[in-house]
Amino acid sequence: MRIEQIYTNCLAEAAYYIESNGVAAIIDPLRETDPYIEKIEANGVKLKYIFETHFHADFVSGHVDLAHKTGATIVYGPNAETTYKIHPAKDEEVFEIGDIKIKVLHTPGHTMESTTFLLIDEKGNNHAIFTGDTLFIGDVGRPDLAVKSDLTKEDLAGFLFDSLRNKIMPLEDNVIVYPAHGAGSACGKNMSDETYDSLGNQKKTNYALRADMTKEEFIKEVTDGIMPPPQYFPKNAMLNKQGYEQVDEVISRGMTALSAEDFEAKAKQGVIILDTRHEQTFNQGFVPRSMNIGLEGTFAVWVGTLIKNLNEPILLVTPEGQEKETVLRLARVGYDNAIGYLAGGFNAWKAAGKNVDSIRSIEATELQALQTQDKINILDVRKPTEYQSEHIIDAQNFPLDFINGHLDDLDKEATYYVHCAGGYRSMVASSILKKHGYKNVVDVKGGFREIAKTDIAKTEYVCPSTL
């Protein structure tokens, strides 16, 4: 028996490869199919099943393409309805994979079709559970992401309580917990950096598995403080439910190399220009009207948060050699309409003599000097909880998460000094403000990490922002 966790940091997502006696299964694959097919071919095994723990909201799964290419059967748990062919499993149904078995444990709560898959080893022992978003390490899945459900988040939290107590907690303490996500995912509130653990340790340390917790207490704790999900979550869930375009076609379209002249002609049609270079490279010069979301950060999450229309055409400016990686990362969250990239990167744009825009960046010490001299406009684009913890007095909390709904709240003639925690989000925000006509935008390099070293960072509790 072989179990391999395939972890993708930018999405904090874990897929799983399971193999026994010449037969394989994959749980919760990402959109790209080549890595899985290459692994199967290299090991000389047959892919029999693709197990999906639920309709994922934070990424587009690769199950449809993978089934098409390999002939494997897609398995969902009870309550799952799709427009493509699946095997809708019954609770406690058992699937054989070589010398091991996978048993279906229907665990509704995160969503109503959510299912945990129990792996039974060659000796008949319960070995591991693949919990999807039902149980994380240190947390449980948020109960507000069900697709087209009339149930409230409190209703779903109640189902989740019962699923954990009746299906998962009775299992042996030595069973390994393999979740679908780790720290950084928006599918939970308090996930650990660890990506697997023993069930026994989770019973001791996970707040949601306290033995003395009542259902009412559980519902309150699980639903308290949940931030609104990114706007792309329900759209990705529907793609996973209804199917999508083949990823090979998406990549082929996005990998269209464009000269500076062709790029400029397409840009004039009002499409999105997405520049994925590092923020401190982007700021020194970029194609006018570009949005900067760097590949080195949580790229896919911010694309999904800030670009509302999954079908809007996107032109790419990337670090050279990372064009395909960019197209693939967009496809992972359902943005399938990249229509080409700037051949030769930004240097080709400059060499062609095209117009260039830039954003000034200053050190935190310079911000301190400016604030000492006069009252200035400071935009703190961190999350409300970060702002509440510590911030510059008189700074305005303008969270990047909600920037699209507040672009008319500022004065386009004023100068704004923009910062986040480390510099990534502030450049994203600055580029968006620039794109929408705010000419006097200044980025604070290094964000609050550097600001905290000066004497303008003050602790001051405020009521949660309404943004």
Looking at the structure, do residues 106 and 193 belong to the same domain, yes or no? yes
Residue 357 has what DSSP assignment?
Answer: B
Domain boundary among 333, 351, 369: 351
Neighbours of 180 (CB within 10 A): 28
**Residue 150, C-beta contacts closer than 8 angstroms, at least 6 positions apart:** none
Cβ-contact 65, 246 below 8 angstroms:
yes
Residue 52 within a domain:
yes
Residue 383 within a domain:
yes
Residue 171 within a domain:
yes
Residue 240 within a domain:
no
Looking at the structure, do residues 123 and 229 belong to the same domain, yes or no? yes
Residue 463 within a domain:
no
Query: How far apart are alpha carbons 432 and 429 in whole angstroms?
Result: 5
pTM beyond cutoff 0.75 = yes
Looking at the structure, do residues 344 and 314 belong to the same domain, yes or no? yes
Cβ-contact 294, 278 below 8 angstroms:
yes
Query: How far apart are alpha carbons 390 and 126 in whole angstroms?
Result: 47
Residue 58 has what DSSP assignment?
Answer: S
Residue 286 has what DSSP assignment?
Answer: B
Q: What is the pLDDT of residue 459?
A: 55
Looking at the structure, do residues 44 and 193 belong to the same domain, yes or no? yes
- pLDDT, tens digit, for every residue of 405-440? 999 999 999 999 999 999 999 999 999 999 999 999
Structural domain boundaries, residue 194:
2-235
Q: Which two tokens stand for residue 185?
A: 């995912």
Q: What is the pLDDT of residue 466?
A: 42
Query: How far apart are alpha carbons 172 and 60 in whole angstroms?
Result: 33
Cβ-contact 143, 157 below 8 angstroms:
yes
Cβ-contact 137, 194 below 8 angstroms:
yes
Looking at the structure, do residues 336 and 419 belong to the same domain, yes or no? no
Q: What is the pLDDT of residue 456?
A: 84
Q: What is the pLDDT of residue 465?
A: 44
Q: Is 67 helix (H, G, I), strand (E, B) or coil?
A: helix
- Tens of pLDDT, residue by residue, the chain (467 residues): 999 999 998 888 999 999 999 999 999 999 999 999 999 999 999 999 999 999 999 999 999 999 999 999 999 999 999 999 999 999 999 999 999 999 999 999 999 999 999 999 999 999 999 999 999 999 999 999 876 668 899 999 999 999 999 999 999 999 999 999 998 787 777 788 899 999 999 999 999 999 999 999 999 999 998 888 889 999 999 999 999 999 999 999 999 999 999 999 999 998 999 999 999 999 999 999 999 999 998 899 999 999 999 999 999 999 999 999 999 999 999 999 999 999 999 999 999 999 999 999 999 999 999 988 889 999 999 999 899 999 998 899 999 999 999 999 999 999 999 999 999 999 999 999 999 999 999 999 999 999 999 988 765 555 544 44
Pairing relationship of beta strands 272-275 and 290-292 according to DSSP bridges: parallel
Pairing relationship of beta strands 126-132 and 115-120 according to DSSP bridges: antiparallel
Compute the Cα dihedral for 342, 348, 350, 352 and give only its sign.
negative
Residue 14 within a domain:
yes
Element (H, E) at 448: helix 447-451
Looking at the structure, do residues 306 and 210 belong to the same domain, yes or no? no
Q: Is 212 helix (H, G, I), strand (E, B) or coil?
A: coil
For residue 1, with 0-12 CB atoms within 10 Å meaning exposed, 13-18 middle and 19 or more buried, which class applies? middle
Query: How far apart are alpha carbons 115 and 205 in whole angstroms?
Result: 23
Amino acid identity of residue 467, one-letter, is L
Query: The CATH number of the domain where 337 resides is what?
Result: 3.40.250.10
Residue 138 Cα to chain centre, angstroms: 18
Ramachandran area for residue 11 (φ above 0: left; ψ -120 to 50: alpha; else beta): alpha
Alpha helices in 307-403 (DSSP H): 323-332, 345-351, 364-373, 384-389
Domain count, the chain: 3
Cβ-contact 23, 34 below 8 angstroms:
no
Cβ-contact 314, 330 below 8 angstroms:
yes
Looking at the structure, do residues 226 and 252 belong to the same domain, yes or no? no
Q: What is the pLDDT of residue 324?
A: 97
Looking at the structure, do residues 167 and 28 belong to the same domain, yes or no? yes
Residue 336 within a domain:
yes
Domain boundary among 351, 374, 390: 351
Residue 466 within a domain:
no
Looking at the structure, do residues 188 and 318 belong to the same domain, yes or no? no
Looking at the structure, do residues 251 and 337 belong to the same domain, yes or no? yes
Question: Phi then psi for 411, rounded to 5 degrees?
Answer: -95, 115
Domain boundary among 351, 375, 406: 351
Looking at the structure, do residues 287 and 393 belong to the same domain, yes or no? no
Query: The CATH number of the domain where 85 resides is what?
Result: 3.60.15.10
Looking at the structure, do residues 414 and 333 belong to the same domain, yes or no? no
